[in-house]
Amino acid sequence: MTAPVLPCLKHFTFFLPMPLFFVFRCFRATAFGLLLAAVFTTSAIAAPPDADEPTPLPMTAAQPLSATAEQIFTKARPRLLQIRTLLTAAQKQSSIGSGFLVDADGFALTNYHVVSQYALEPQTYQLDYLAPDGTRGRLRLHAIDIANDLAVVRLEPSDKGGVQAPRDHFTFNPVAVAGALPKGERLFAMGNPFDLGFTIVEGTYNGLVENSYQPRTHFTGALNPGMSGGPAVTADNRIAGVNVAKQFGGDLVSFLVPAVAAHALLEKARHSEAMSQAGVREAIREQLDAWQNGFFAALQEEGFRAASFGPYQAAESSAPWFNCWARTNSGSSTKLRVLINDASCDTRTALFLAGNMSSGQANMSHTYMKSIDLNVLQFATLVSQRMQPSPMFGPRRRYTPQQCYENFLAPDDAHPNRPVLRVTWCARAYRDFADLYDIAVTAVTQDSSKEALISRLSLTGVSYPNAITFTERFLNTLEVSR
């Protein structure tokens, strides 16, 4: 049977009352999970108990249940870190995550989302580590990889004069780096969930997530907030991936960053200097820009397929990494006054930039409406309600206010079958990252008073030329045939 996964807030208030900051920290640690949850909305699957299932183990032998896990954890323990973002002024933690040593000189890997507050606001936050033996110290940021949600940090030497003893550290599993682990391989994920102490979790490697633009390893095991950035190792105690997210509403459906990305970033960071705030912002900007260029080139390459809505044709991306859903109101009432069919496609993943800022999402949706007994004025009211562009939320210090342009767009010689459209284009710029924008386009067909197609496109973290090109492509595919 499936049981609902309690969100961390509820879970904790159940056991003991938590001060507010803990709730916040809790929320932060789950931010990435929340992001994913918004995209993956798979229904719970209740499977009947399998008749062929073997009967429970007889309770005879008093042997250790998992000697492997015990050995792995004992060996791995000194290489694990808890990574804490502290509010400098208050000296209190504002978020926690995990990390692990990967180099004798004190380089460690973690998730970008674990260090994002410090990376973007080093004046406000400081980045500390806490080792299982109780030693603490500062961390310096050496490299980030936004697309894969990775960061390389380095432990500050504890005393300046003495030569630092080489640190015990993990190595990468070459089979995992080559992406050749077989499905079903046993993996062990480690980290410090909810600040409860370092733990080890046994699970299964299930290959790469299908239909995801960004490669993610599907790990069947219990990852929890706070374990982000911790290692997932094979039985020989070598790195196979980095804990990154879990599926809300799922059971044991968790995700790892593939080892190959972590390995590549470490090699790049090994000889680098610590990053400055400006360096971080420039790196994010460059990576986002490169990412969106790659993403839109790939989208164009995958092409579009036509989708029909009454007399209208619109485009849907043929790219496999879009998750599409359809909905209709036809069964909702016996006295239906208007027929509404929705089809919506979005990319499964988003790139985490900050707790209140994510990027790299694309969404295309079409709403077809046909009046049954609404008059033209009532139908226009309904279209007005349905065509409102989705609001762009976010703090003003991260984004400029949105700017919109709206007008009627004529069919032209190249697209004579396109009806007159009422197009609303809204865009806003990222304050921290030049040349990146969020855009939202809404097009409403204007060829009939009792029938309409509302097509929407929204892109986040996109360059203006890509946004314009893609919008043009999107609008050019809208056609009507009567």
Chain residues that interact with another protein, rule: CB under 8 A: 24, 27-28, 31, 94, 117, 333, 335, 337-338, 354-356, 374-385, 387-389, 391, 393-397, 400-410, 412, 420-429, 431, 434, 437, 444, 446-449, 464, 468, 471-472
Looking at 40-166, list the stretches that DSSP marks H as alpha helix, in order from N- to C-terminal side.
67-76, 112-120
Looking at 99-150, list the stretches that DSSP marks H as alpha helix, in order from N- to C-terminal side.
112-120
Tokens standing for residue 3: 């049981």
Tokens standing for residue 337: 């006054």
Name the β-bridge partners of 98. Answer: 82
Nearer to another protein, 304 or 425 (CB): 425
Residue 22 beta carbon to another protein: minimum distance, rounded to whole angstroms: 12
As a whole number of angstroms, the distance between CA 454 and CA 480 comes to 13
Residue 46 beta carbon to another protein: minimum distance, rounded to whole angstroms: 34
Pairing of strands 403-409, 362-371: unpaired
Nearer to another protein, 158 or 381 (CB): 381
Nearer to another protein, 270 or 386 (CB): 386
As a whole number of angstroms, the distance between CA 441 and CA 369 comes to 18
Assess contact for 135 and 102: CB atoms under 8 A: no
Residue 347 beta carbon to another protein: minimum distance, rounded to whole angstroms: 22
- DSSP letter for 332, please: S
Residue 124 beta carbon to another protein: minimum distance, rounded to whole angstroms: 10
Residue 20 beta carbon to another protein: minimum distance, rounded to whole angstroms: 11
Tokens standing for residue 22: 């803990």
Nearer to another protein, 239 or 354 (CB): 354
Tokens standing for residue 208: 């790469």
The neighbour count for residue 427, using CB atoms within 10 Å, is: 20
Contacts of 220 (CB under 8 A, 6+ apart): 203, 204, 206, 252, 253, 254
CA dihedral 178, 184, 188, 189 (to 10 degrees): 80
Residue 82 beta carbon to another protein: minimum distance, rounded to whole angstroms: 19
Residue 312 beta carbon to another protein: minimum distance, rounded to whole angstroms: 14
Nearer to another protein, 75 or 337 (CB): 337
Nearer to another protein, 74 or 403 (CB): 403
Nearer to another protein, 76 or 383 (CB): 383
Residue in the block written with tokens 């079903």: 184
Of the candidates 150, 207, 202, 149, which has an alpha carbon nearest to the alpha carbon of residue 179? 207
Nearer to another protein, 199 or 458 (CB): 458
Residue 322 beta carbon to another protein: minimum distance, rounded to whole angstroms: 24
